[in-house]
Structure 1
Amino acid sequence: MKRALLEALQTARAEKRPTALVTDLSDGRQALMIAGIHHGDLALSDDLRAAVEEAIQADRSGPLAADENLFVHVHNPPLRLIVVGAVHISQALVPMAQLAGYEVLVVDPRKAWANAERFPDVTLVDGWPDEALRSLDPDHRSAVVVLTHDPKLDDPALGVALASTAFYIGALGSKKTHGKRLDRLREAGMGESVLARIHGPIGLPIGAKSPSEISIAILAQMTQALHGAPPLVRAVPPDPGAVAAQ
């Protein structure tokens, strides 16, 4: 790799910018794609650039399907989980997400809840959720989980999250609570296509009850969204009457 490309790659990684190094295996020429901008001596057509961007979005390194002579090595920033609300569920969810490879940040202005005793080895942000989220700038490698159950904190946070490219946005609450939340956000001017991005009630429907079980359901749903997996279809038990009639 040429020195200029190496330095550009190192800078992009330090700044946590989505980057891909494309190498022509036939002659060694290389191109570096940083936030859609092309660097290097390997020319890429619009179709190839689109294929590289798709690889970045999918976090997938390997030969490009559009041209198997080209190998793309994706350098994405780490996955981030921004948790709004230093609550009991957060205490269970944070270590689980860290084990899954997420950089976790907990946002809560209530210092009695958001402190190092309850959340050791976790980045704590004590600003108001909307201001904190604007500064954290969630991207396509970010998940935002809103857990305070307080509209004064949750609604502004959701407003900022929905304006971002976060791959997952989830909010705690029953169906009734979530319905009221959607009504408030509609009154604030948000359309249905935007509101449909909120996973609420949060988590996969696995019958979770305890904070740990709810955290498992949340992390599973985040994983499903990250990899674009289809929603799970719950099996319907056979009708005993129909079976007897056969």
Structure 2
Amino acid sequence: MGDHDAIPELALDWHQSGKKAALATVVETWGSAPRPVGSQLAISGEAGMAGSVSGGCVEGAVIAEALEALEDGKPRLLEFGVSDEDAFAVGLACGGRIRVLVEPVGAALPVALLADLVAARAQRTAIAYVVDVVRWQRRLAGPDDPDLGAVIAERMRSDKSGFEGETFVGIHNPPLRMAIVGAVHIAQPLVQMARLAGFAPTLIDPRPAFGAAERFPGETILDDWPDAALAAHGLDARTAVVTLTHDPKLDDPAILAALDSDMFYLGCLGSTRTHAKRVARLESAGVPADRIARIHAPVGLNIGAKSPAEIAVSILAEVIQRLRQG
């Protein structure tokens, strides 16, 4: 988690260190908006700030309101508009409006609730921060919530915070990750594309010649056997796994580990004939048919890709399709 994404964590740290803190959250947008719903800005009692709610065009006003909120202890729902004439100056094609919720930590946003949110994020647990902006009632909730469970589950799948009536549902999903087994030529463009799409990529390859740092400068590379590396890496509902080695001795342990997890995507390189042999091996190992059916193979959308970069595009497109469309 980068510093820009650790806004609740920073707000809690500021409050606990005696600096005071307020959290500002984009709760609604109309027209052209520089930051999506759910974006957050932390403001300290010393006027320090981290994060963003508008890319700079309304931060000054939000900070001023936040400092006042730290004095009177009351939350605020603010609305800002950017005219078409002023939009270009702040990087927008046209004007728009945003609503921003400002909550002083402790006085309005309970410290215990914020601490629980931070703990859930640290444990990579998807959670929703739910606040009724009329009654100012707050809670954390998940897909099993008796009132909003189905709505929260859908919002988590689509990574989309927003209003349900008078209640704002702020989605806090764990960061996306991609575990790539096989530091081959396709992996070189794939790690770059995955990062641009918001995934934290990790390469797994026990072969020193393939997983050399010189071939993947600056990348996280695990040189353990794939099943052990994936166990150390962790597999959950925000993790995609892609196997690229073409070697059953390396791919199969990774596939078995992935199929025994909650990962949302597993794609395996190889032709239709190669996959048929893979399926036969998995069936012989006792893997149920419904689990085998989770494998996307041949990996990637069928776009006629030829080069390593084109194949990487097809893989990433299929990963995103599975993430967003289920």
Q: 1:146-165 maps to which residues of 2 (within 5 A)? A: 146-165=243-262
- Aligned pair count reads 218
Among residues 217, 220, 237, which one is paired with 1:120 in the alignment?
217
| Root-mean-square deviation over aligned CA pairs | 1.7
SS of the equivalent of 1:159 reads helix
Distance 1:137 1:35, change over 3 A: farther
Does the Cα contact within 8 Å between 1:144 and 1:169 map onto a contact in 2? yes
Any runs of at least 4 consecutive aligned residues in structure 1 with deviations exceeding 6 A, and if so which? none
2: CA distance between counterparts of 1:92 and 1:48?
Answer: 40
Structure 1 position 123, deviation (Å): 1.1
Per the alignment, residue 71 of structure 1 pairs with 168
Per the alignment, residue 116 of structure 2 pairs with 8
SS of the equivalent of 1:186 reads helix
- State the structure with more CA Rg: 2
Residue 57 (structure 1) aligned with residue 157 (structure 2): yes
Per the alignment, residue 39 of structure 1 pairs with none
Structure 1 unaligned segments of length 5 or more: list them: 37-43, 230-246
Higher RCO (C-alpha under 8 Å, 6+ residues apart): 1
Does the Cα contact within 8 Å between 2:143 and 2:150 map onto a contact in 1? no
Among residues 19, 25, 30, which one is paired with 2:138 in the alignment?
30
Q: 1:211-222 maps to which residues of 2 (within 5 A)? A: 211-222=308-319
> Which amino acid letter does the alignment assign opposite residue 203 of structure 1?
G
Does the Cα contact within 8 Å between 1:20 and 1:52 map onto a contact in 2? yes
Higher-strand-fraction structure: 2
1:99-128, CA deviations, whole angstroms, 9 ceiling, x for partnerless residues? 111100001111221122111221111111
**Percent same amino acid among aligned pairs?**
50
Per the alignment, residue 41 of structure 1 pairs with none
2: CA distance between counterparts of 1:143 and 1:60?
Answer: 20
Structure 2 unaligned segments of length 5 or more: list them: 1-108
Structure 1 position 34, deviation (Å): 6.4
Per the alignment, residue 18 of structure 1 pairs with 126
Residue 86 (structure 1) aligned with residue 186 (structure 2): no
1: CA distance between counterparts of 2:161 and 2:143?
Answer: 17
> Which amino acid letter does the alignment assign opposite residue 137 of structure 1?
G
SS of the equivalent of 1:169 reads strand
1: CA distance between counterparts of 2:297 and 2:286?
Answer: 19
Residue 226 (structure 1) aligned with residue 323 (structure 2): yes
Q: 1:186-225 maps to which residues of 2 (within 5 A)? A: 186-225=283-322
SS of the equivalent of 2:148 reads helix
Per the alignment, residue 105 of structure 2 pairs with none
Does the Cα contact within 8 Å between 2:157 and 2:324 map onto a contact in 1? no
Structure 1 position 17, deviation (Å): 2.3
Per the alignment, residue 175 of structure 1 pairs with 272
TM-score (norm 2): 0.64
Does the Cα contact within 8 Å between 1:146 and 1:154 map onto a contact in 2? yes
2: CA distance between counterparts of 1:210 and 1:202?
Answer: 14
Structure 1 position 71, deviation (Å): 1.1
